[in-house]
Amino acid sequence: MPAVDISSDADNFNADPYTYYAKLRDSGPVHQVMLDYRVSGPSWLIVGYEEARQALNHPALLKDWRDTGLFPEIVATAANANMLESDPPHHTRLRRLVAREFTARRMESMRARVQQITDELLDAMAARPQRTADLIKSLAFPLPMTVICELLGVPDLDRERFRHWSNEVVAPTEGSPAGAAHEQLSAYLADLVEAKAKAPGEDLLSALIRTRDEDGDSLSGEELIGMAFLLLVAGHETTVNLISNGVRALLAHPDQLAELRADFDGLLPGAVEEMLRYDGPVQNATFRYAGEDVEIGGVVIPAGDTVLVSLAGADRDPGRFGEPDTFDIHRAPQGHLAFGHGLHFCLGAPLARMEGRIAIRSLLERFPDLAEDPAGGPPVWLAGSLMRGVSRLPVRW
């Protein structure tokens, strides 16, 4: 069966990938596709829910691509020495060391500060005489960026440069030099880690530099750069899109928006979970490759082939969620895959949920008549198959 070339219709795919995933799922849960211009050959795309769960936790679907020759145009850097791009037992060791410091208590201690940052950003929005704003620039980006920088202890981060590099890493623009942003970001973070090692504080990055396992094991310099990269990029990019995609969904469903406004305490937690399921921030998990022949959904994926697990496709699988294309804040969406599944499940999920709930509730309380700004022009969708969202969200009140 020939690979389905989705990359040739990138604009329509970026605007509405769910239609493509549904068509594929109608004929089976696993398909060969041409989905990403950075990959020369086809990849296997998994769009069924049960098959996605299986793949996300399959020991033979590996994440460390550095010695495979799969992406010859990309030069590996210290930033790649992170948990997301590693496999057991190396992954097990890294996650154990990071989890010692990335605790629920540390995350919960950020709650008051998250609320304070949110309120300050909304104050600045409310002071705008034109009563319009780009919600991403005004709230969805600066909130998680400030939170993760303060958590890691890097408040002086050059955010404009970092935002550019981060965007190129997760949603690269066609024609940009392969790996250039990765290399520049890696060099920047190396200087950051070195400076933090010389002047440690009570922050998470200082704690990661100091942390030791029971047997004396600690993170190497390269691993610290990899962790800083993963926590900074993953710690803000996903939350940007959780907030903006969630607000877009609510504004497109005014009846449910009204219900949520009337009962924040009862409905907000479930509403945020439905936002994650319905239009989550991560469309497809990062590449895996088959370390051996792997059978999933009745299809044998040959050893060495690349695999993409579609979190967006799985979370719209009618076999798991009734009327999956309907946004319903009353749904019980437990089991969605927006944060992944298995050993690579998102370590920062509690922090992202907290930020999403605080940001969306505070925004809706501050601006009762919030609406999309019709003068803002058509949406500009993020490119590529990794992230799901828009680069701008013009709103008015």
User: Which residues does 106 contact at the CB level (< 8 Å), separation at least 6?
Assistant: 151, 204
- State the pLDDT at residue 234: 85
pLDDT tens by residue, 254-283: 999 999 999 999 999 999 999 999 999 999
User: Which residues does 312 contact at the CB level (< 8 Å), separation at least 6?
Assistant: 17, 18, 21, 279, 280, 282, 283, 284, 388
Residue 20, Cβ neighbours under 10 Å: how many?
Answer: 21
User: Across residues 167-192, what is the average pLDDT?
Assistant: 78
- End-to-end alpha carbon distance in the chain: 51
- State the pLDDT at residue 61: 97
User: Across residues 10-26, what is the average pLDDT?
Assistant: 93
> Domain containing 363 — which CATH number?
1.10.630.10
pLDDT(32) > 90: yes
**Picking from 17-26, 86-95, 149-158, which range would have the lowest pLDDT averaged per residue?**
149-158
The band of 98, judged by pLDDT with boundaries at 50, 70 and 90, is confident
Would you list the DSSP string of 53-118?
HHHHT-TTEE---TTTTS-TTSPP-GGG-SGGG--TTHHHHHHHHHHTTS-HHHHHTTHHHHHHHH
User: Across residues 316-330, what is the average pLDDT?
Assistant: 97
Q: What percent of the chain has pLDDT over 90?
A: 62
Would you list the DSSP string of 355-366?
HHHHHHHHHHHH
Q: Please name the residue that has the structure tokens 């005004």.
A: 138
Q: What gap in Å lies between CA 303 and CA 7, rounded to an integer?
A: 24
Residues of the domain holding 177: 4-396
Residue 336 or residue 1, greater confidence: 336
Would you list the DSSP string of 104-145?
HHHHHTTHHHHHHHHHHHHHHHHT-TT-EEEHIIIIITHHHH
Q: How many CA atoms lie within 13 A of 251 on its CB side?
A: 23
Closest C-alpha to 59, from 230, 288, 223, 226? 288
User: Across residues 42-70, what is the average pLDDT?
Assistant: 92
pLDDT tens by residue, 348-365: 999 999 999 999 999 999
User: Across residues 15-39, what is the average pLDDT?
Assistant: 88
pLDDT(38) > 70: no
Closest C-alpha to 283, from 328, 250, 330, 316? 316
pLDDT(36) > 70: no
- State the pLDDT at residue 218: 85
Q: What gap in Å lies between CA 23 and CA 324, rounded to an integer?
A: 14
User: Which residues does 210 contact at the CB level (< 8 Å), separation at least 6?
Assistant: 200
Decide: helix, strand or coil at residue 297: coil
pLDDT(330) > 80: yes
- State the pLDDT at residue 34: 87
- State the pLDDT at residue 303: 95
What is the chain's mean pLDDT, rounded?
90
Q: How many domains does the chain have?
A: 1
Q: What gap in Å lies between CA 235 and CA 148, rounded to an integer?
A: 6
pLDDT(78) > 70: yes
Q: What gap in Å lies between CA 385 and CA 177, rounded to an integer?
A: 18
Kindly give the residue spans of alpha helices, DSSP state H, lying in 252-370. 254-262, 264-279, 311-314, 349-366
